[in-house]
Each structure stands twice: as C-alpha cells, then as structure tokens.
Amino acid sequence: MIYPTKEANNFVFVRIRRPANSMRQAESLLLILFLVIPNLLFSQEEGENKKRSLKEFFFADSTQIVKNLLVSPELLEGDAPLRNAQVKVFESGNPIDSMLTDSLGKTSMELPFGGNYLLEFSRPDYVTKKLEIDTRDMPAEDKEYGYDLGRFQMRLFRKVEGMNLEAYEKPVARYVYSPTTRLFIVEKKFTRKRAKELEPIQEQNQALIEDLLQEEASVQADYEAAIRDGDIEFKNRDYASAIEYYKEAQKFKPNAEYPRSQIVRVNKERKAYAENKKRYDLLILQGDNALEADNLDRARDSYTKALELFAEEMYPKLQLQKVADRKDELGSAKPTTGKKLKDPKDYTLENIQVDANNAFVSELAKKFPQGLTEEVTTEGGKTITRRIIVQGTIGVEYKKIRHSWGGEFFLKNGEQTTEFIWQKETEQY
C-alpha cells in the first residue's frame, strides 16, 4: 500500500511502500513460506539432492527484468493537473530525455542505474523547479533488478514580475538509494535544508501571486462586461456598437477567441442584414403603393414577403391588417353605375403599352365589357375613379385617387403612373 508524505514545503509529495496486509496476514504468509520453501529448494537429479538458491527460485530468469528505475512524476498547479508541462532529464549536465505531461499532469520515464540525474519541470509563464535523483551509490547486487520510485507530485506556480527565482536554480529535493531499506527515499537532510531556504521566498512569491490573481480577476470582470454588452448590441442589430464592445474585450484579453469570432459573425450578419433591408424597404414601398391603389392581393403579397425577411417588424403586420380591413370595405361598398364617357367602341389599346402576358389584364377583359367603363367610389376620406379599357382579350385598369386633403395619385394596372398618362390613355380625345 502507498501513503503520501509531504516534503520540501509543498514542493514534492512522495509515496513510500508499506506492507499491504495486516500483521496476521504477514504471519500466515511467513508460515506458508516456512513450510513450503524447504521442499522446493531441493530437487532430485541423478539420485542426488541438488540445492537451489532462493534468488534462483524466485527469479529464475533475471534477464527478463528491466534493470532501471521507473520514475512517475505528477505536475500540479495547486490541486489542479498541469497538462503540457515539460519534464527534461539531465545527467552530468547533459540532456538525455524530454517529455510532456498528459491531461492529468502525469508522465513517466526509466532511468538506468549508475547515474546522477537532474529532472527539470517547466511550463511557459511558470517558475521552473528541479529534482535530483542519485542512483550511483547502489550495491552491485541491488542493481540486478528494477525499482519503482513511486509516483510523486511536483507543484509549479505562476511566474510574476519581481519574484526571486535564483533560489529555484538548485533542486528542491533529492532522492537517494537506501541500502538499509533497499528503496529510493527522500534525502531528508538536504530536502529540509532546501525547504527552510525556500520558506521566506515562498511567502514573498505567494504575496505577488495573490496580487496578480486580484489583477487578473479585475481584468476578467471588465472582459466579461464588454462581452455581455457586445452580445446585447449584436442581438439588437446595433452592429457598430457590438463591434466596439468586442474590440474593447480584446484589449483586456488580446488572445481570446470569442470576441474575434464574434466580430467575424457581426460583419457577416451586417452585410446580410443590409442586403435584406434593401429588399425589405422595396417590398414595403411596393406594398404601400399597391394598397393605395386598392390592389390588395399585390399589397398582401408584398407585406408577407417583407415579414419573411424580418418577422419581428410591426409595420407590415399593421399594413396586412389594413389590407384585410380594406377588403371588408370594398365588399360592402356599392360602386356607382358605370358611366361611359363616350361610345365604348371608340376606345382602343392600339397606342397603349400593355403586358399581354399578364394574367391581370386578361381577367379584366373577362369581367368588363369592351371599350371604357368608369366606376367612382368614395370611402375613408378619398374618392377613387376607376377606368377600365377592354379590347378583345386584354384589359387595362386606371385609377385616380383623390384624398380629402387634396393629394392625387394615378395608377395603371396597380403601378404608379402620371396624370398625363391618365388623360392621354383614358380620355383619348
């Protein structure tokens, strides 16, 4: 079983082996070995008893055992795993190996016996620490088999301007081989001395770290406030203000991905919004003109398409209600009897530009007699004079809308036109 032992002023945590079972279990195991081993140590060969050594019995093929030291460091920041930290291995000042910690802050390596190794633990923007492992003073017979140092923990902390870093040039702890326990252990004298040397420096560094954390917390609060305001303006389609807030957030965190990606999104949506806004404004204009000319179906279509672009806009919704109300009015209005300005047969479409493929003109030809027919209706503070000219299968509708406040508008087949066209094409004098 392995127990953690705190050493070197929170710099290193080591694990040492203890017996895995209780004393009673150990006694039972010894009894079994006492009874069984004597019978196993002797084998009959050519009528003679041949004795086998205990080492030969338990380790019959010693070449299969790796003769080195397994080292498994775990790097932390506080109690959190420190991933992608670098562990470099030096022997006699020469680099011999290097690796990175995984997502749990762990890694491992194997060190051949007979060397004095220096492990260097580092990460960008963190204080580098070192650990010494001396495997030189091992008896030859103890080097025959492999050892496991056990997993130990090394805590790194943030590097802050003004810190005393010279004290960390030397190892914070040292492992040596103990012939007594036949285990690798922390050299207490060296490690305690280093812990005492580092204690006041650690207190100073901790104060600097706390100041840095407070400053970072303030920066984080300002960053989050700018992001929040940017998101609000983005949602409200105030694109210019949104970009300003996101750029402000970038000042607090230049490498942050979110404000950068949001600025890209804002610019993309702003471009699409500008294009849709042009289409929307045109549809609203077409709808208003059609509604003014009582071309209610066309007005309804225009307002409906405008809502498809911007569903939250109220204006097209209100206009659609006006279209519905207007349809109700026309359904109850009684047009005056058609008044012929002159003989219908005298009116012609020969000099009038008409889209003969328009279904609207063919429908007029079906509903109205040949020649010119005039209808006049009055409602809602305006008077509408409607003139329809039919020749063959083609009809043309003209409207003159006069408001009570004096304004006049002229339409031809639902499209805005001029008084000159009205007079020229509907009167034909």
CA distance 90 to 115: 10
Most confident of 85-89, 325-329, 423-427: 85-89
Q: pLDDT-based confidence at 18, cuts 50/70/90?
A: very low
DSSP lists the bridge partners of residue 336 as none
Within a 10 A sphere around the Cβ of 93, how many other Cβ atoms? 6
- pLDDT tens per residue across span 35-74: 444 443 434 344 333 444 444 444 444 444 457 899 999 9
Sign of the alpha-carbon dihedral angle for 238, 239, 240, 241? positive
For position 59, what pLDDT does the model report? 42
267: alpha, beta or left? (left if phi > 0; alpha if psi -120 to 50)? alpha
Tell me phi and psi for residue 267, to 5 degrees. Answer: -60, -40
Is 2.60.40.10 the CATH number for 2-202?
yes
Q: Which amino acid is at 344?
A: P
Question: Which of 219-233, 237-251, 252-266, 413-427 comes out lowest in average pLDDT?
Answer: 413-427
What is this structure's pTM? 0.44
Using DSSP, state whether 189 is helix, strand or coil. helix
- Domain edges within the chain: 2-202, 276-332, 344-427
- pLDDT tens per residue across span 161-177: 888 888 899 999 999 99
| Cβ-based neighbours of 25, under 8 Å, separated by 6 or more | none
- pLDDT tens per residue across span 97-151: 999 999 999 999 999 999 999 999 999 999 999 999 999 988 888 888 889 988 8
Q: What is the mean pLDDT of the chain?
A: 80
Q: pLDDT-based confidence at 186, cuts 50/70/90?
A: very high
CA distance 17 to 27: 19
pLDDT of residue 81 exceeding 80, the answer is yes
Within a 10 A sphere around the Cβ of 35, how many other Cβ atoms? 9
Burial-class residue 163 by CB neighbours within 10 Å (0-12, 13-18, 19+): middle
Question: Which of 286-300, 329-343, 367-381 comes out lowest in average pLDDT?
Answer: 329-343
pLDDT mean over 261-271 = 93
Task: Extract the runs of DSSP E, i.e. beta strands, from 61-146.
Answer: 68-77, 80-81, 86-91, 94-100, 109-112, 116-122, 129-134
CA distance 139 to 121: 29
| Cβ-based neighbours of 144, under 8 Å, separated by 6 or more | 62, 65, 67
Enumerate the H helices of 123-256 as residue ranges. 188-235, 239-252
In terms of DSSP bridges, do strands 147-155 and 68-77 run parallel, antiparallel, or are they unpaired?
A: parallel
